[in-house]
Amino acid sequence: MAFLCFGVYGLRRAKALRLGGVNAKARIVRHDVERNDDGARFHYPVAAWTAQDGRACEYASRFGRGTVGSGFRVGAHVMVRYDPQAPDRFAIEGWDTRAVDLLFTVLGAVFTAGTVTALVVRLLTL
């Protein structure tokens, strides 16, 4: 269920940004780097832009990658799409993709359906 919820949340967030979001030119100011339990490093680019109302915004992407291409290096100019009411809800074009959310949704649906099926079969065969 967690996979399914994460995926559906991400897809709904992407749709809300697509329908009501605002585009802005941004610049990558740094990368937040985190290590997982296995020692692998993940880079989360931090984009900075000025919102329509003049607020300075600087937020890290919710997606991390093991490598950073030249288009997302520190100082690179990128396009972001953000929610004007909550600028921390944003996506960096070319970095934040729907593929991850879609993958989680599909895997979550398969795992949930399999679990429910197993439980129903178990209850019917008692």
Give per-residue pLDDT as tens, 80-114: 999 999 999 999 988 877 777 788 899 999 999 99
Of all residues in the chain, what percent carry a pLDDT higher than 70? 99
pLDDT band at 33 (very low <50, low <70, confident <90, very high): very high
What does the alpha-carbon distance between residue 11 and residue 17 come to, in Å, rounded to a whole number?
A: 10
| 49, pLDDT greater than 90 | yes
Q: How many CB atoms lie within 10 A of CB 29?
A: 14
Tokens 């990558």 appear where?
28
The rounded Cα 25 to chain-centroid distance in angstroms is: 19
CA distance 34 to 31: 10
Cβ contacts of residue 4 below 8 Å, gap of 6+?
Answer: 104, 105, 108, 109, 111, 112
